A and B are shown apart, each in its own frame.
Chain A
Amino acid sequence: MDQEKLERIRELKELWEQELADLKERKEPAETVSGQPVKMLFTPLDTKNLDYERDLGFPGSYPYTRGVQPNMYRGRLWTMRQFSGFGDAYDSNRRYRYLLEQGQTGLSVAFDMPTLMGYDSDSDRSLGEVGRCGVAIDSLEDMEILFDQIPLDQVTTSMTINGPAAILWCMYLATAEKQGASLDQVGGTIQNDILKEYIAQKSWIFPPEPSMRLITDIFEFASDHVPKWNTISISGYHIREAGSTAVQELAFTLADGFAYVEAGINAGLDVDRFAPRLSFFFNSHIDFFEEICKYRAARRIWARRMKEKYGAKDSRSLKMRFHTQTAGCSLTAQEPENNIIRTAYEGLSAVLGGTQSLHTNSMDEVLALPTEKAVKIALRTQQVLACETGVANTIDPLAGSYFIEALTDKMESEAEEYFSKVDDLGGVLPAIEQGFFQQEIADAAYEYQKAVDRGERIVVGINRYCSEEAPDIEILRIDPEVERKQLERLKRLKETRDGGRVSDCLEELKRCAASGENLIPKILEAVRAYATEGEITAALKEVFGEYREKPLF
């Protein structure tokens, strides 16, 4: 736009501002949920420096701001991938087959706390926790049951597992093998993002160095043997759930991503060999526009840095593909039906932001794991979005909006400030050690709570439009029998397997862990011998040690 026209707009803006002087404004602060003030109006003045080719480009082309595929949802809708898992492998297998029947297009496994932390169901740390917040998997036998009647060469699976990711991945691969699939046909994702565990989710096992080594072992093995597998889902979801702002989620996630890229390069891998299979996982929170801008900024930042700083040549290394989950922390226990509405808006912003796959939360998740009814509504939310609203008809429809482009730019530059801070601290691992991310997150979480308590941030049903009624919905119960049956099955397994072979495998594992060779083949061996997750973890702990966190508020 030429200077004269901009000047004219500036004059008109001043006139408009004069009119405002006589008008009252609503008292609620005009801020995003992250506390960012939002101007009343955006005009061409806010985007005067926008260059279409440089800043936006076309979908499927650098810098990918508008989307990573040339035809986005016109070619293929996002994957509807509901995170799910509870009880034992039989229970979850039934749920997965139900979801696939209802039209879900990919699987996503939620494991229970003992499995996430590397303990078997019979450990005394597992008491009361077996099957409670996810499915209990102790050995290959459980994994085989979990995917019974589900062909792993046709269905892709995402597994939310971090500390023991290598072990569960090997169990999945061994299961696929047993089904007769060949590994180069097997597709899916393991979360495998240990950095964000230290920062936010806190289900770690080993200290940072050996954890990073396991991750680069996975990169290497996958690039040679399981080429369709996404070896890591670099996550911001949990960082946001822990209380961060949108910019922090954006910056910390990408910072972690760059740290993994550097780890891979330092391990001697060519960047284009593993970067194409890095994927991301973001939150979709309730502030509609902020989230859309966050995703667009993320794609642009990733593409630029991968090209300019890390010298990636393969275009797949530059494309930031991501899964999104709607924000659990935005849901309320009060009037849970309202959560259906929140989830719908959050799902919409994820789609307008160009996500590759989406999980929509169920309304009852603040109370328990979802019931069949609740998860069906959550799935239908996506289906209505995809089929009825028309938002999938055109790509990146909000591009060019003065507000959207201005906010995308702003979030990008604020993220860059964080990158500088992290560099000043010496990088991501030193920053974690100094508690930098954790402190930022704790502060943001506290600020948010205070804003809610003061009534500045409104949450319907919590501090406005409240009703006294207690939630009146059915919730999912985990039968305590699950724990007992799991323990029985585990006992039988240990009695009937070849104990000698298991011990040999574990010894070999320890030797390999100490020597620095790629551990994945050894873990596969152990898994095939029906060594349990707890046994493998314990063996690795002997060599790697355990992580302990730095306490911070």
Chain B
Amino acid sequence: MQQLVKDLLAGSRRAAARLISQVENDDPHKRELLMEIFPHTGRAYVIGITGAPGSGKSSLVDCLLQQMRSEDLKVGVIGVDPTSPFSGGAILGDRIRMQEHALDQDVFIRSMGTRGSLGGLARATREAIQVLDAFGKDIILVETVGVGQSEVDIVKTADSTMVVLTPAGGDSVQTIKAGIMEIADLFVVNKADLPGKERTVTEINLMLDMKEDSRWRPPVACTVSVRGEGIEAVWQSLQEHRRFLEESGRLQEIRRERVRRELTEQVEYLVKNQIWDRVKEQIEFDSLVEKIVHRRRDPYSAAYELLEKIDFYGETD
């Protein structure tokens, strides 16, 4: 076993930090590391938190951290912020609200950029969760950017998902994308001291009334995170949701689905890389592009031709 992984399992925060970097940076030894880590994962409970920028997610996380720590739970936090599509850089500011916990040995906080992953929740984040899981965290909180498609991604990674809204000046729930409303296991109306709170709560409930199914109806909690108000109720709801998932067997289903997706993705990833490595060796690619631009070829038959060249189709023909 690699030394870093040994250190991780022995509780070294430095090792955890280095390992997260290595998976994030696509280190050449990444696969071996993940292989060694994997058997030690599966224990941590993952909670996703999403919502529009400015809804107070970070301060909510800070409050939840206090709750969890008061129950002596070991917690990992991953704060994801958007990477600039222009420069490739990012300002990762989620920690600001959580810095009181910086010196708590049993809290590990890591900031990550989406690094161009369209889904918002980078593959590296999922792998970072595994590292923290193997590291021995009981709970892992994942806070993500609150824009569009990214939120739907969280569902695939989290066991419980919390969507944070605010009663902000007349914005109604309808303006929030339908996808986000679908993924919530719990709604939190933060900054509940602002006007419009009741309306927001009502609109959420109306929308939930229209949804069919669900043996689980997402509760709607109101909080004022900067004053720590309403946090206990949120924590209760999270724990209730977890109990529900465990008792109904749903948790197992979710995790099985996750593994299925992961395996599929890994296979596709390997296949893709394999093929591209071999295709790129062919100088043909660029010249094919030229021909297609000038309409002397089309992309469909050109693709087929490339794959034939690397003997993708074997003997069949």
Q: B-contacting residues of A (Cβ < 8 Å)?
A: 426, 434-435, 548-549, 551, 553
Instruction: Please determine whether A548 and B93 come into contact, CB atoms closer than 8 angstroms.
Output: no
Q: How far is the CA of A177 from the CA of B96 in the complex (A)?
A: 44
Instruction: Please determine whether A553 and B91 come into contact, CB atoms closer than 8 angstroms.
Output: yes
Q: Does B156 contact A (CB under 8 A)?
A: no
Q: Inside 8 A of A435's CB, which chain B residues have their CB?
A: 54
Contact A434 to B91, CB < 8 A, known contacts A548-B226, A551-B97: no
Instruction: Please determine whether A551 and B54 come into contact, CB atoms closer than 8 angstroms.
Output: no
A545's closest neighbor in chain B, by CB? Answer: B227
Q: A434-B54, A435-B54, A549-B96 are in contact. List 9 more A-B contacts (CB 8 A).
A: A426-B169, A548-B97, A548-B226, A551-B58, A551-B93, A551-B96, A551-B97, A553-B91, A553-B93
Q: Inside 8 A of B91's CB, which chain A residues have their CB?
A: 553
The 6 closest A-B pairs by CB, nearest first: A551-B96, A551-B93, A553-B91, A551-B97, A434-B54, A553-B93
Q: How far is the CA of A551 from the CA of B97 in the complex (A)?
A: 8
Question: How many of chain B's residues touch chain A, expressed as a range?
Answer: under 10
B168's closest neighbor in chain A, by CB? Answer: A434
Q: Inside 8 A of A551's CB, which chain B residues have their CB?
A: 58, 93, 96-97
| B90-131 contacts to A (CB < 8 Å) | 91, 93, 96-97
Q: Inside 8 A of B54's CB, which chain A residues have their CB?
A: 434-435
A280 → chain B closest CB, angstroms: 30
A442 → chain B closest CB, angstroms: 11
B293 → chain A closest CB, angstroms: 36
Q: Inside 8 A of A553's CB, which chain B residues have their CB?
A: 91, 93
Q: How far is the CA of A335 from the CA of B97 in the complex (A)?
A: 40
Q: How far is the CA of A549 from the CA of B169 in the complex (A)?
A: 22
A210 → chain B closest CB, angstroms: 13
Q: How far is the CA of A526 from the CA of B90 in the complex (A)?
A: 49
Q: Please, what's the 1-or-0 string for B217-241, where 1 marks a CB less than 8 Å from any CB in chain A?
A: 0000000001000000000000000
Q: Inside 8 A of A434's CB, which chain B residues have their CB?
A: 54
A423 → chain B closest CB, angstroms: 12
Q: How far is the CA of A553 from the CA of B97 in the complex (A)?
A: 14
A206 → chain B closest CB, angstroms: 13
A549's closest neighbor in chain B, by CB? Answer: B96
Selected A-B contacts with CB under 8 Å, 12 pairs: A426-B169, A434-B54, A435-B54, A548-B97, A548-B226, A549-B96, A551-B58, A551-B93, A551-B96, A551-B97, A553-B91, A553-B93
B96's closest neighbor in chain A, by CB? Answer: A551
Q: Inside 8 A of A549's CB, which chain B residues have their CB?
A: 96
A552's closest neighbor in chain B, by CB? Answer: B93
A424 → chain B closest CB, angstroms: 8
Q: How far is the CA of A426 from the CA of B93 in the complex (A)?
A: 26
Q: How far is the CA of A435 from the CA of B58 in the complex (A)?
A: 15
Q: Which of A434, A548, A549, A553 has the most CB of B within 10 A?
A: A548
B226 → chain A closest CB, angstroms: 7
| B259-289 contacts to A (CB < 8 Å) | none
Q: Which of A426, A434, A551 has the most CB of B within 10 A?
A: A551
Q: Inside 8 A of B226's CB, which chain A residues have their CB?
A: 548
B191's closest neighbor in chain A, by CB? Answer: A433
Q: Inside 8 A of B93's CB, which chain A residues have their CB?
A: 551, 553
B94's closest neighbor in chain A, by CB? Answer: A551
B100's closest neighbor in chain A, by CB? Answer: A548
A544 → chain B closest CB, angstroms: 12
B167 → chain A closest CB, angstroms: 12
Q: How far is the CA of A447 from the CA of B93 in the complex (A)?
A: 21
Q: How far is the CA of A553 from the CA of B54 in the complex (A)?
A: 12
Q: Please, what's the 1-or-0 string for B73-103, where 1 marks a CB less than 8 Å from any CB in chain A?
A: 0000000000000000001010011000000
